[in-house]
Chains A and B, each alone.
Chain A
Amino acid sequence: MSTLLEIVNPSYLLFPALVGTMIMGLVCPLVGSYLVLRRTVFLGLTLPEIAATGVSFTFWLQQTGVLPQLGQSERGIGMVGSLVFTLLGMGVLGYLEQRGKGLAEGRLAAAYAFAGGLTILFMVFNPAGQIEVLNLLKGEVIALSQGELRLLAAVFGLVLLAMLVFRREFLLTSFDRDLAFLLKGRQVIWDVLLYLLAGLIIAFGVIMAGPLLIFGFLVLPALAARPLVSRMSSFLMLSSVLGLVMAFWGFYSSVRLDLPLGPTDVTLGCCLIFLAYGIRRLPMKAGVATMILICAVTSLSSCSTQVADTPVPDAKAKKNTSISLAKVKNSTGLPLLLPSTNPLRSLGEMAGKISSDYRQSVMDLLRDSLRQELEQKGYRVTLPEDTDTRFPPLAADANGAARVAREGKLSGLVFVSEIRRWEGESQRFVRVVADFKIVRIDDGVVIWERHVQRAISTPSAPYLGQAYMDAVKIVAHDLFA
């Protein structure tokens, strides 16, 4: 389990993702504060949806050959589509607002529904498959590369600078347009600039973090900060601080509890709003004390020392060096078959002439790796199905595994493995949750056990199948290291 100190270490695997999330958490609320104050929160929901339409549209064009394959990364192409559609969407919405016909909420709601519908339709049209595009639209910030992090820092840094420099103009235009006109002339430039900045962070944020997280960062910190302050400067500052808190604790909770980042952050943001309204009811000193107490307790509990994982013991340390290696149990509900790299076989599979059973699965690979590692540790490994081909995979429940092993007339030790989660985030990361145990068959006593819950980096894998293979090796190696 990752501790707080581990996460903030720059050498931590997911450190770039943490930094990226925090950059978004810092900057988005500054722009979102004005959306909240101008009562245009729905714009913060509609623009990310329009950006998502741009992503799916660009991929559709590329797959149909209208756009050439430029050799850029998938995210880069998606980013272009996201940016173009966001700016176009803002232009159309701005034009309709200038004309002043109909309700603003109605226009935004219609645009949201239209964009949402188009996004799904473009995904359906895409011959490359919906899942790939859907993964991009989810915008998993966990897969943020160093180059993307630099781009994110540059764009969001620019927005932050503009928000600080033009803070008075944005405030005046938002609060009292008449006074803004008298003092600064036509204020349309400040409206355009504010929405342009919002469009920039939405267009880049959607492809990197997904529409949900960007919308959450835009509005939730501002809504949480509003009841706690009565000055504009404090409001902007607190919104940013709460955005950082939301980003950091959301990321930490996501890693620690193995939850998806976007929904975790957004849930935390909503909790902050409830907390803010609760604290506002308290007297000033009690409110501050409560906040400090919550922060201190959370930090202390998160900084707890990590218990070192013990590797599989050497065979020499055990009297019984014979071990039965049970089949790896797959509890994910997915087949976890490795994609075929042979195009003729794939065609045969599609034509129904070759069964996909010939393909190796993650479970097969993992078992092979475990066998090699156990043998290197000096164990004499036997496979239960060598004595009885009907022998099933064993669950990580020690007593159950021991009972089945006894019924199968096995003796000594049995190594059981159970995969609970195995998901590839593009080909850069594989999220793994698995349990491993060595159980004494006679009495069901657990000799050794390990719970693996982590995102495994597979940066050099050119495709998902290779990422799975790399992840298998890393998991097996870590158990014995």
Chain B
Amino acid sequence: MISLGKDVDETQTARGGSSTGQFLPLVSLQNISLGYDSVPVVQGISLAIYPSSLIGLAGPNGSGKTTLFRAILGLLPILGGSLSRSCPLSNFGYVPQSAALDPHFPLSASEVVEMGAYGRVRSYQFLPLKEKERVREVLHQIGLPHLAERSFFSLSGGQKQRMLIARALMVNPKIMILDEPLSGVDEESRKSITDLLLKLTREKGLAVFFSSHDLEMVQRVADSIVRVDKGQIWLEERKARLQP
């Protein structure tokens, strides 16, 4: 079993700090197999994700990174093994690849970010003021409040990615799952996104699980690196992290 982030959780508890998970993993996978139409793509995955961990999932295109994420999010049924979550799915902040979204939709950036609050707002309600305030807050957090009224699909790749992170933050997540957040992104945006992920992990205690096919980049950013390739998954590296 690959346990990710447990050491940080234990350290914080020993210091008298709050332990968000109280040693309980946010997500736990026991020997699961994943695939489509009963054909496995990845097998024998055992993984536990704890709060305050920044985990990079590296692997070539088509190795099963997105498949693993979709299974964790409940979007794809598992073929075998067991998967448990200690928080509801509405506490999962999911950042898809922006290219997967249909650019035909006329949406402003703020409308995309607002979607993160839809789970809390009843159908017949107008968006409450506190949610609008929260939208402004997360836009400040990602450093793009001035782009709120711009058309979402007219933004650059990096800006779109940050807006999707803002949308994921709107759900008040305990864990964030980001599918290739740094692909097709310029260097400046890449730096601001990685800084933001680090900040969310260190200051907010979120577990962040992101994928990339660029191993070098994952090594630069993540505390722990999980590799997936040829249907197998393994822990590549765990860095010692200085506690705040």
Contacts and interface: CB of A to CB of B under 8 A. Distances in A.
Given A178-B73, A178-B96, A179-B94, A168 B118 contact: yes
B14 interface: no
Interface string A27-49: 00000000001010000000000
B223 interface: no
B123 A166 contact: yes
A165 B92 CA distance: 26
B115 interface: yes
B171 interface: yes
Contacts of A479: none
29 contacts: A37-B104, A37-B105, A165-B124, A168-B115, A168-B123, A172-B115, A175-B101, A175-B102, A176-B96, A176-B101, A179-B96, A179-B167, A181-B73, A182-B73, A182-B74, A182-B171, A183-B116, A183-B119, A229-B106, A230-B106, A230-B107, A230-B108, A230-B150, A230-B154, A231-B107, A231-B111, A232-B105, A232-B107, A234-B106
B232 interface: no
B90 A183 contact: yes
Contacts of A39: 102, 104
B107 A175 contact: yes
A184 interface: yes
Interface of B: 70, 73-75, 89-90, 92, 94, 96, 101-102, 104-108, 111, 115-116, 118-119, 121, 123-124, 150-151, 154, 167, 171
Nearest to B106: A235
Given A169-B123, A230-B150, 17 more contacts: A168-B121, A172-B118, A174-B105, A181-B74, A182-B73, A182-B90, A182-B92, A183-B90, A183-B118, A230-B151, A230-B154, A231-B108, A232-B105, A232-B106, A232-B107, A233-B111, A234-B106
Contacts of A37: 102, 104-105
A172 B90 CA distance: 14
B119 A184 contact: yes
Nearest to A236: B106
B123 A176 contact: no
Given A166-B123, A182-B89, A231 B106 contact: yes
Interface residues of A, number: 25
B118 to A, nearest CB: 5
A231 B113 CA distance: 13
Give the dominant DSSP class at A's interface. helix
A226 interface: yes
Contacts of B118: 168-169, 172, 183-184
B207 to A, nearest CB: 16
B206 to A, nearest CB: 16
A188 B156 CA distance: 33
Among A178, A184, A230, A232, the one with the most B-chain Cβ atoms within 10 Å of its Cβ is A230
Interface in A172-215: 172, 174-176, 178-179, 181-184
Among A37, A178, A179, the one with the most B-chain Cβ atoms within 10 Å of its Cβ is A179
B121 to A, nearest CB: 7
Contacts of A234: 106
A353 to B, nearest CB: 67
A108 B222 CA distance: 48
A389 B175 CA distance: 99
Given A175-B102, A182-B89, A165 B107 contact: no
Nearest to A230: B151
Nearest to A229: B106
Contacts of B154: 230
Given A169-B123, A172-B118, A233-B111, A182 B94 contact: yes
Nearest to A175: B105
B20 to A, nearest CB: 20
Nearest to A235: B106
Contacts of A172: 115, 118
B109 to A, nearest CB: 10
Among A169, A174, A175, A229, the one with the most B-chain Cβ atoms within 10 Å of its Cβ is A175
B73 A176 contact: no
A35 to B, nearest CB: 12
A178 B102 CA distance: 13
